[in-house]
């Protein structure tokens, strides 16, 4: 598995410095995020705030690609306010040697709520001369199959919330039907108890990592609660699990509640 770091900046010097540092750390491909819609990012001309400024994007790419040996992947949205802003941005991106373009098929104003605009994604795919990665609402096998029919030229697919809500999704999509057990590679339907064990293992690894990296129980609990806002949807009884997890005020009661949650049934795989 390759980890691709992501950079969120509009400052050419800082961008080049960050790329050089990442290169020294062993990363040869880095993603530039032109999709982040949050106000303190986009409102300050970074992330999606750059989408209305294709000439600035051109200047930044020209500078950093000449300064560093790192290859760039770029993630965009349809636009900041206007869903056609990506057309001019794609023309610029086509002039640079990129590894791929990822399109999140919503505007910044649509955040994560509106349905992705597949018609515009289809047109963008035709316009893009780089490997094109589609992103937006990939949540299940049948929806993914219909997207593949609409975008047969896509070079890849990025899953967002679908993977947080149902961590087995990527494997499930790869198999197209049924699940390959990640542990031993065996194919077929995952039994509910096995799915529960895998999910518990996933939770425990995530908890141990966050415990290691975050300072203090408050931040650890906040981060785990944020994960649970997605993970609860794995469980049939999601509402009561969400309530109990939300009430936890310290790590021991959190871990007790997690044990209790994992006694509940998962949705069928």
Ligand X SMILES: Cc1cc2nc3c(=O)[nH]c(=O)nc-3n(C[C@H](O)[C@H](O)[C@H](O)COP(=O)(O)O)c2cc1C
Chain contacts with ligand X (rule: CB under 6 A): 6, 33, 35, 75, 104, 112, 135-138, 159-162
Residue sitting closest to ligand X (CB): 160
Question: Which residues lie below 8 Å from residue 133, measured CB to CB, with a gap of 6+?
Answer: 100, 101, 102, 103, 154, 155, 156, 157, 158
| Residue closer to ligand X, measured from CB, 75 or 203 | 75
Q: Smallest gap, in angstroms, from Cβ of residue 159 to ligand X?
A: 6
Q: Smallest gap, in angstroms, from Cβ of residue 5 to ligand X?
A: 11
**Strands, sheet with 6-7, edge to edge from the N-terminal-most edge strand:** 6-7, 29-34, 71-79, 98-107, 132-135, 156-158
| Residue closer to ligand X, measured from CB, 161 or 223 | 161
* 122: its two tokens: 């289809």
| Residue closer to ligand X, measured from CB, 104 or 196 | 104
The residue ranges of DSSP E strands in 40-154, in sequence order, are: 71-79, 98-107, 132-135
| Residue closer to ligand X, measured from CB, 138 or 248 | 138
User: Strand 132-135 vs strand 156-158: parallel, antiparallel, or unpaired?
Assistant: parallel
Contact 10, 60 (CB under 8 A): yes
Contact 124, 86 (CB under 8 A): yes
Q: Smallest gap, in angstroms, from Cβ of residue 230 to ligand X?
A: 8
Q: Smallest gap, in angstroms, from Cβ of residue 265 to ligand X?
A: 25
| Residue closer to ligand X, measured from CB, 134 or 196 | 134
Q: Cα separation of 38 and 245, whole Å?
A: 27
Q: Smallest gap, in angstroms, from Cβ of residue 252 to ligand X?
A: 27
Q: Smallest gap, in angstroms, from Cβ of residue 158 to ligand X?
A: 6
| Residue closer to ligand X, measured from CB, 67 or 161 | 161
Among 160, 136, 20, smallest CA distance to 78 is for 136
Among 152, 184, 153, 165, smallest CA distance to 233 is for 165
């Amino acid at each position: 598995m390759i980890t691709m770091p992501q950079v969120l900046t509009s400052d050419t010097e800082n961008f080049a410095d960050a790329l050089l540092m990442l290169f020294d750390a062993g990363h040869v491909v880095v993603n530039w995020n032109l999709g982040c819609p949050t106000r303190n990012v986009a409102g300050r001309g970074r992330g999606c705030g750059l989408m209305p400024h294709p000439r600035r994007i051109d200047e930044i790419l020209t500078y950093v690609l000449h300064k560093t040996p790192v290859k760039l992947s770029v993630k965009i949205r349809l636009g900041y306010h206007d869903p056609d802003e990506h057309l001019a941005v794609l023309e610029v991106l086509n002039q640079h040697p990129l590894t791929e373009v990822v399109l999140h098929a919503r505007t910044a104003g649509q955040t994560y709520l509106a349905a992705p605009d597949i018609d515009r994604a289809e047109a963008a795919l035709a316009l893009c001369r780089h490997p094109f990665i589609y992103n937006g609402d990939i949540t299940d096998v049948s929806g993914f199959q219909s997207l593949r029919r609409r975008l047969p030229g896509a070079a890849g697919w990025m899953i967002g919330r679908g993977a947080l809500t149902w961590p087995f999704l990527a494997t499930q999509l790869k198999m197209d039907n049924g699940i390959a057990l990640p542990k031993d590679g065996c194919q077929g339907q995952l039994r509910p108890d096995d799915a529960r064990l895998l999910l518990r293992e996933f939770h425990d690894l995530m908890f141990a990592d966050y415990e290691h990296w975050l300072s203090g129980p408050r931040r650890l609990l906040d981060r785990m609660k944020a994960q649970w806002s997605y993970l609860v949807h794995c469980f049939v009884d999601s509402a009561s699990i969400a309530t109990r997890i939300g009430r936890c005020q310290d790590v021991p009661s959190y871990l007790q509640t997690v044990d209790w949650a994992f006694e509940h049934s998962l949705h069928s795989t």
